[in-house]
Structure 1
Amino acid sequence: MTVCLFCNDKLPYVLENGTCAAFFDKHPVSRGHMLIIPKAHKTDYFQLSCQEKQDMDALITAGKRLLENTYSPAGYNIGFNCGLSAGQSVFHCHCHLIPRYQGDCVNPRGGVRGVIPEKMND
């Protein structure tokens, strides 16, 4: 059995509520990149209970407020990778809240469509 990084590490939560918690990504895409996880081990978004989804959504909103007050980003990408084929590498559900900054890439058009580069500008 593989050790779950999110279950076994003592993560420095910056936000938490009843069923979920948020912390800064150890390998951020941008300054302030946060991960929001259920406290209970769930493999992906589709295993979350209704309460966990509500609590995760509340932390996405609270995380946005924290990032706005700390870093003043110009936008955000929010996303889940569900399954190996979708790029999931840690099999404990986690939502990426990625702040975006003006000029942080040449052409951000297409946003999350960029997970398949040739679809980025479709």
Structure 2
Amino acid sequence: MINIFNRNCVFCHLDDNKIILQNDGAKAFFDIHPMAKGHLLVVPKQHFVTWFDIHQDIQIQMIELLNQAKTKLDQEFHPQGYQIFSHVGRVAGQRIGHAHIHLVPVY
């Protein structure tokens, strides 16, 4: 399911000053309820509900941004490892109806 922009979506209305990294298809920003210092979210700029709704070319841009975010977190926070995950559907723990990938540093 796609809408270019959803007026009720918190990720569609994110303040530009909160964006840490971005490319043509995706943006990354710190989670407001972080599991660990440096916890980032990578989201498509267009409104898609889950990972499996996203067009493959935008998924690739999200993965490219995820790799850039990992490099940034390595330099700033020096974690020992990472968790990468995406909740797909409310039953799986998805609380925001806009697809996103969590990049969580582990210390």
Alignment TM-score, normalising by the size of structure 1: 0.79
Instruction: Name the counterpart of 2:11.
Output: 6
Higher relative contact order (Cα pairs below 8 Å, separated by 6+ residues): 2
Instruction: Name the counterpart of 1:56.
Output: 62
Percentage of pairs with the same residue: 36
- Which structure has more strand as a fraction of its residues? 2
Deviations, residues 23-78 of structure 1 (Å, cap 9, x unaligned): 01111000000000000000000011111111010011001000000000000000
Structure 1, unaligned runs of 5 or more: 102-122
Matched-pair contact (CA < 8 Å) for 2:7–2:13: no
Q: Report the secondary structure of 1:8's partner residue.
A: coil
The alignment of Structure 1 onto Structure 2 pairs a total of residues equal to 101
* Aligned partner letter, 2:14: D
Displacement over 3 Å in runs of 4+: none
Instruction: Name the counterpart of 1:46.
Output: 52
Alignment TM-score, normalising by the size of structure 2: 0.90
- Rg (Cα) greater in structure: 1
Deviations, residues 2-43 of structure 1 (Å, cap 9, x unaligned): 821101231511100010000011110000000000000000
Please, what is the CA RMSD of the aligned residues? Answer: 1.4
